[in-house]
């Protein structure tokens, strides 16, 4: 099919800035696909080794990691719905969705502008409810009125309001941790002063030193969160040099299949629950096996009161955990 340039592309380069979550800039694309390119950051610092996954109808289509500048590129064929996952250990996973449906047949050969989606990940704090991130932060779709791709502004606005509550919860979680550390430090100070055994005293002193360092670190994190809260809605858009990352579908599938096969071989059909107790934490592990598929769920209970839920290392809500692992 001969490609033609759509009139909408005659305009100058545009930018749609999404405060806090992503920023979008438009440039001319040479492929008949919907192209996404961007950089993953935390507090303006690039995050390398971030896992980017593209799912279609719940099935993993491709997965790869960002490079040392945090850059990524995705090319999505027309006529489908996609879910893009952005995740990294110790950070809150984020999603954005893209629907490439609804494009009139006569416009299927146009050179659509590339969409620039920079994603800023939040640092993860135990005990904070991040369930708002279980669904896409931003939803992209083809806007017939504009003859171009757009995003759901009302949906994003609601997410931005919910984000304020998350930041407040993070602040409270750190303050609670600080209070618990301070209480334990007082106990350690008293124990060190009254200890008659030198070895025990040295051990307690070392523990106090570790707590002192943790207290300083958490105080700094509290300060950073407060500063981020004050500046998060004024984040400037950055232009970056992009590097294309190739995804190896075959290798990814082999790794996933190997892990699933091992679980199916080890556990019986249905739900198997295990309990693991560690230093300051209790983990309730539930392995769900259904035919030749398997999932690992975890409920982590911390001694300071926080509770977190996971499915295959991805954070989920308590209701999702209970519903999907119900035994009756």
pLDDT per residue as tens digits for the range 227-262:
555 544 444 333 322 233 333 445 555 656 777 888
Q: pLDDT higher for 180 or 240?
A: 180
Taking only the tens place, the pLDDT of each residue in 65-117 is 998 899 999 989 888 999 999 999 889 999 999 999 988 887 777 767 888 88
Beta-bridge partners for 53:
63, 85
Residue 313 has a pLDDT of 76
pLDDT in tens, 280-289: 788 999 999 9
For residue 97, what are its two tokens? 């969705």
d(C-alpha 248, C-alpha 32), whole Å: 22
Class of domain 249-324: mainly beta
For domain 7-161, the CATH superfamily is: Immunoglobulins (2.60.40.10)
pLDDT value, residue 225: 54
Q: Which residue has the higher pLDDT, 176 or 240?
A: 176
Is residue 256 a contact partner of residue 59, using CB atoms and an 8 Å limit?
no
pLDDT at 35 over 70: yes
Instruction: Judge whether 36 and 46 are in contact, CB under 8 Å.
Output: no
Most confident of 156-160, 240-244, 248-252, 305-309: 156-160
Mean residue pLDDT of the chain comes to 74
Contact 62, 252 (CB under 8 A): yes
The mean per-residue pLDDT over the stretch 4-15 comes to: 35
- Closest Cα to residue 37, out of 23, 49, 48? 23
% of residues, the chain, pLDDT over 70: 69
State residue 169's pLDDT score: 83
Is pLDDT of 208 > 60?
yes
- pLDDT tier at 328 (50, 70, 90 boundaries)? low
Supply the pLDDT for residue 323.
84
Task: Please tell me the pTM assigned to this model.
Answer: 0.51
Number of Cβ atoms within 10 Å of the Cβ of 212:
13
Contact 120, 235 (CB under 8 A): yes
Q: How confident is the model at residue 29 (pLDDT cuts 50, 70, 90)?
A: very low
Task: Work out the average pLDDT over 220-227.
Answer: 56
Q: Is the dihedral of CA 221, 224, 226, 232 positive or negative?
A: negative
164-178: average pLDDT: 81
**What φ, ψ does residue 18 adopt, rounded to 5°?**
-100, 110
Kind and range of the H or E element at 127? none
Distance of CA 261 to the CA centre of its chain: 26
Residue with more model confidence, 138 or 7:
138
* CA proximity to 73, closest of 96, 52, 99: 52
Ranked by mean pLDDT, which of 179-183, 227-231, 258-262, 292-296 comes out on top?
Answer: 292-296
Look at residue 107 in the predicted model and tell me its pLDDT. 77
Chain-centre distance of CA 84, in angstroms?
Answer: 10
Of the candidate ranges 15-29, 115-129, 146-160, the one whose mean pLDDT is the lowest: 15-29
Q: Is the pLDDT of residue 137 over 50?
A: yes
User: Is it the case that residue 198 has pLDDT exceeding 60?
Assistant: no
State percent of the chain over pLDDT 90: 19
Return the ∠ at Cα 319 (arms to 140 and 229), rounded to 5°: 55
**Cβ-proximal residues to 116 (8 Å cutoff; 6+ apart), any chain:** 23, 24, 25, 26, 27, 36, 37, 38
Round to whole Å and give the CA distance between 244 and 66.
9
């Amino acid at each position: 099919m001969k490609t033609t340039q759509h009139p909408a592309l005659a305009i100058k380069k545009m930018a749609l800035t999404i405060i806090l979550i992503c920023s979008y800039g438009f440039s001319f694309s040479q492929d008949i696909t919907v192209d996404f390119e961007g950089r993953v950051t935390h507090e303006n610092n690039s995050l390398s080794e971030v896992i980017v996954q593209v799912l279609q109808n719940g099935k993993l289509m491709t997965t790869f990691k960002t490079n040392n500048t945090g850059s990524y590129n995705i090319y999505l064929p027309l006529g489908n719905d996609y879910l893009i996952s952005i995740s990294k250990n110790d950070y809150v996973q984020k999603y954005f969705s893209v629907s490439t449906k609804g494009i009139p047949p006569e416009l299927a050969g146009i050179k659509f502008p590339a969409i620039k989606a920079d994603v800023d990940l939040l640092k993860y704090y135990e005990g904070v409810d991040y369930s708002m991130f279980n669904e896409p932060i931003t939803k992209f779709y083809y806007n017939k009125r504009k003859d171009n791709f757009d995003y759901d502004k009302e949906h994003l606005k609601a997410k931005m309001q919910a984000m304020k509550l998350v930041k407040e919860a993070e602040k409270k979680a750190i303050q609670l941790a600080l209070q618990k550390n301070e209480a334990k430090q007082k106990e350690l100070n008293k124990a060190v002063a009254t200890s008659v055994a030198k070895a025990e005293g040295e051990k307690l002193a070392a523990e106090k030193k570790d707590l002192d360092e943790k207290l300083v670190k958490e105080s700094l994190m509290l300060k950073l969160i407060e500063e981020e809260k004050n500046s998060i809605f004024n984040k400037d858009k950055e232009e970056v040099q992009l590097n294309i990352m190739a995804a190896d579908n075959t290798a990814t599938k082999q790794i996933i299949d190997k892990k699933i096969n091992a679980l199916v071989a080890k556990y019986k059909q249905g739900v198997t629950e295990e309990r693991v107790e560690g230093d300051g934490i209790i983990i309730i592990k539930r392995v769900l096996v259904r035919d030749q598929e398997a999932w690992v769920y975890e409920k982590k209970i911390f001694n300071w009161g926080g509770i977190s839920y996971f499915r295959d290392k991805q954070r989920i809500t308590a209701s999702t955990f209970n519903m999907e692992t119900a035994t009756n």
